[in-house]
Amino acid sequence: MNRKGLLQSGAFLVWVFVLAVAAPAQQEDAYRGLRAGLIEEIRADVKLTSERIGRARLTDRVLQAMLKVPRHEFVPDRLRPYAYENRPLPIGFGQTISQPYIVAVMTDLMDASEDATVLEVGTGSGYQAAVLAECVKQVYSIEIIEELGREAAERLERLGYRNVEVRTGDGYYGWKEKAPFDAIMVTAAASHIPPPLIEQLKPGGRMIIPIGSAFMTQHLMLVEKDPGSKIKTRQLLPVAFVPLTGGH
């Protein structure tokens, strides 16, 4: 078994032990310990990919958010032992909660300030929305699968996130009533950058979006709208996301 495999099986054993014998407060401590280990993995992966993503480290604000958000609350119960492994996990309806490294990098690349209002397309479990909510003032998130959106909204409410609003709909068209946004993040792969999202991005704003089809290489793209509303795009990392669906 390689080092990563050993660490993962070690984390798994810690989790099993904690669930078997620990009181809730100790369980929370153990989860926090697992999150701290995950942060170290993310830091290392960021270093390895620094040329592609254009930065050698992530901001403390993003890393603190990753350390704080309880990912185990966003995965199905049977997958909780794997919640702090650095990989995507199934959340039902053929959808996934994204890999923590990708969540951290996409959040960081938005360069959104604490005062920012951001739009997320693809609520899924609500995990990414929670990480965003720790970093910015207001998050609007759209999910096309009604049940997933409802469950995510309830989960976020239960966990105390009051600055996230979730609605069901086709995020290709954005959320016109709440626009413009300081930053936009799309968490499903689109064949092209949706024009309504470009329209709803503030001048000076950034959008992070995976572009490509489900069966071909996808790339994470950074879209920048300059103060004169001119659009500049940059291809960053190869990624693998579920497709952006809907009628567009």
Q: Using the minimum distance from each CB to ligand SAM, give the nearer residue, 144 or 223.
A: 144
Q: In this structure, what DSSP letter does residue 78 have?
A: G
State how far the Cα of 25 lies from the Cα of 154, in Å rounded to an integer. Answer: 23
- Which of 96, 117, 200, 218 contacts ligand SAM by CB under 6 A? 96
Q: How deeply is 235 buried, as exposed, middle or buried, from its count of CB atoms within 10 A (0-12, 13-18, 19+)?
A: exposed
Decide if residue 109 touches ligand SAM (CB under 6 A).
no
Decide if residue 161 touches ligand SAM (CB under 6 A).
no
Closest by CA position to 100, among listed 167, 44, 142:
44
Q: Using the minimum distance from each CB to ligand SAM, give the nearer residue, 122 or 205.
A: 122
**Residue 141 annotated as catalytic:** no
Computed on alpha carbons and rounded to an integer, the radius of gyration of the chain in Å comes to 18
Q: Using the minimum distance from each CB to ligand SAM, give the nearer residue, 144 or 164.
A: 144
Q: How many helices (H) and strands (E) does the chain have?
A: 8, 9
CB of 241 to ligand SAM, least distance (A): 5
CB of 115 to ligand SAM, least distance (A): 22
CB of 184 to ligand SAM, least distance (A): 12
Per the structure block, which two tokens stand in for 80?
């909780």
Neighbours of 39 (CB within 10 A): 18
Binding mask 164-183 for ligand SAM (x = CB under 6 A): ------xxx-----------
Decide if residue 95 touches ligand SAM (CB under 6 A).
yes
Binding range to ligand SAM, per CB under 6 A, among 18-26, 65-73, 141-149, 225-233: 141-149
DSSP string, 146-208: HHHHHHHHHHHHHTT--SEEEEES-GGG--GGG--EEEEEE-SBBSS--HHHHHTEEEEEEEE
Count of residues of this chain found to bind ligand SAM when the rule CB under 6 A is applied: 25
Neighbours of 51 (CB within 10 A): 8
- Which of 15, 69, 98, 132 contacts ligand SAM by CB under 6 A? 98
- Which of 34, 121, 222, 236 contacts ligand SAM by CB under 6 A? 121
CB of 133 to ligand SAM, least distance (A): 12
Angle at 159 between CA 137 and CA 184, to 5 degrees: 35
Which residues of the chain form contacts with ligand SAM (CB under 6 A)?
A: 95-98, 121-122, 124-125, 127-128, 142-145, 148, 170-172, 187-188, 241-242, 244-246
| Active site residue ranges | 98
